Structure formats: C-alpha cells, structure tokens
C-alpha cells in the first residue's frame, strides 16, 4: 500500500519523510500507529455538534453574531483538546479509525472528525 505524508504530501519511504513526519511508533501488538494532526475548521465542528447548517452559520457570522460555543471550539482546537478519542469513527480499544481504516494514535485528528457529546 502506498502512503503519503499528511503534512507535505510526499511519498512515504521507510516510514519517514523529509519534512520530519514519522510513523514509527508501535503498540504492544506490534501495530504501527500513525500520528495525524489535520483538524477540520472550527466552523465545521460547530455545525456538526449543534446540527446547524453551514450556510446559516455563515449568515450569523456575517451579521456579527458570534456564538459562544464556537469560541470554545476554536480554543479547544488550538489547544489540541479535540482528538480521535472524541470521534464517532474511532475504536479506542484497538486504536483503529473505521473511516480511514488505519491504526491511529488517539491524540490525532483529521478532516473527517465527527465529534460526539460525552455524557
């Protein structure tokens, strides 16, 4: 399987890239875990959490209405508090993402992040 670097897009050879990205960490099961940090825009996360259409959010922002929840989400993304651990597609027991079909560290995040509310 051919893999590309999520940071720069170059072809990965021997699990390292010229930009410094590496996938060499393994678990006790000898499964290679990938570290990704490519979060979706905070506006997208807000729309997914609140079930608000993206066009409606754009209109709100254009009118100057800035939801408090959106500020919290931006802060969480900036501080790396959202991660695969909070995603619907991630199986924490086996460190596996159903959507990407890869073994990923739980502090990773990708553009397809689908948050769920922890109760």
- Residue 87 CA to residue 89 CA, distance in Å, equals 6
pTM attached to this predicted model: 0.67
pLDDT at 68: 94
Buried residues in 75-104 as b, exposed as e (16+ CB within 10 A): ebbeeeebbbebbebbeeeebbbeebebbb
Which residues in the chain come in under a pLDDT of 50? Answer: 1, 25-28, 119
Q: What is the phi/psi pair of residue 78, to 5°? A: -65, -35
Ordered strands of the 102-103 beta sheet: 90-91, 96-97, 102-103
pLDDT tens-place string over residues 93-110: 888 888 888 888 888 888
């Amino acid at each position: 399987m051919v893999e590309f670097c999520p940071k720069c897009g170059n072809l990965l050879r021997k699990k390292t890239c010229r930009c410094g990205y590496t996938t060499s960490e393994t678990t006790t099961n000898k499964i290679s875990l990938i570290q990704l940090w490519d979060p979706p825009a905070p506006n997208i996360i807000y729309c997914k959490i609140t079930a608000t259409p993206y066009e409606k959010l754009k209109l709100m922002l254009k009118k100057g209405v800035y939801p408090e929840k959106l500020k919290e989400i931006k802060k969480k993304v900036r501080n790396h508090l959202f991660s695969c651990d909070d995603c619907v597609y991630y199986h924490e027991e086996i460190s596996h993402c159903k959507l990407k079909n890869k073994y990923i560290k739980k502090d990773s995040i990708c553009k397809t992040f689908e948050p769920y509310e922890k109760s």
